[in-house]
Each structure stands twice: as C-alpha cells, then as structure tokens.
Amino acid sequence: MGEVLALVEARLRTALGEPDARAAVTFLGTDRIEVLRFVDGDLVRYATLGMSARPMADPTAVLADPVKGPRAELVLTVRAGLADTDKVLRPLAVLASTPQVEGVIVAPGASLDVGEPLWPDAPFSSVLVAESGGLVEDLELDGPMDPVRFLPLLPMTSNEAAWKRVHGAQALEERWLAHGTDLRDPLRRSVPLD
C-alpha cells in the first residue's frame, strides 16, 4: 500500500511540480486520505493521495480482491484568488473515501456529491468525474495490479447535476463546450440548460 502511494506521489510531483501544502483527513473505518495543493500561475490544483492504496471493489462482489481492480486519485483545478477554495480539502477527502465507505467504483461519467458547497459560497456541491490521461498520465503498476488513473473533477451546479442525470455526462460536457464554459471558475454560474 505504501509503495503504491509513493509511486503516485512521485507521478503527481512529476506532472504538477512540488506541492506547496498538504492536509490529511481520516474518517472512522477508512484509510488516511491526503490532499496536496499545487499552485501553477493563476491556477490551483488539488490532488488526493490515498484513494489508490487499495483497488476499488465491485459492490456486488462477495469478497473484495486486495490486488486487482480499478485504482484512482482525484484532481480538481480552479482559478486562484477568486474564492476560498482551500476549504475544498475535506470535501475532496470525502469524495476520495467514497469507494471505501460506500463500496462504489469511481469512474469517468460518474457524479459525486458531498451534500454541501465544495467551499464557502460555492455554487457547487457535486462534481462530474472526467476521463483520465490528460494533465497527469495514468500510472502503470506491476501486474496483476491495475494502473492508477488520475481523474479530473468538474464542479457541477445542482441544475447541471440534475440535467446530467437525465441527459448523460457527454451531453453536459458538450453543452459546456458549446457555451465556452470556464470550468475552472470557482464562482461560475450554471450553463444554460433550456
């Protein structure tokens, strides 16, 4: 477990540079989740560290495989200085602990909701999980372990989350693209959904 996390942290440092802050959160009955903060000009990136320590298990499986199964970490990017986004550390740790707590597999296209604003005055309480392989390359591990995927999180307003449940993740992403939505703006309004 520790070896996997050391490799994951090395991959994050290679892709994003040195973290300027880190915080750790532990929930009862779960492994410790750290959130690392990386500043890149006018962008702040938050990455979880700890979610990939164990593979995510199929909730219908009788026994969880301790070696095989999907592994992931979460990455959120926002514009710096517009909101108190450092308060996202705990909600990110909550999202990263979801596979252990709720027995779900976090994958691209999924919605995750923390039930409260991601940071003070944020218009978002949920995120859309995007495809990996962009900002931070997937990390191959020795077989039979699955690679660690670094999944970007795209904050969604409650209206966008409801619209996505009906129309799907791809339709929402296309709508964002068509309207030139700045998904890194921590104060943005909902995209037009009519």
59, pLDDT greater than 70: no
pLDDT of residue 1: 63
Mean pLDDT of 58-75: 82
Work out the mean pLDDT of the chain and round it to a whole number: 93
What is the greatest pairwise CA distance in the chain?
49
User: Token pair of 179, please?
Assistant: 């309207």
147 pLDDT tier (thresholds 50, 70, 90): very high
What are the distances in angstroms from CA 70 to CA 58, 64, 91, 165?
Answer: 10, 12, 22, 24
Mean pLDDT of 132-140: 93
39, pLDDT greater than 90: yes
Q: Return the percentage of the chain with pLDDT > 90, whole number.
A: 80
31, pLDDT greater than 90: no
- Residue holding tokens 């999924």? 110
pLDDT of residue 77: 97
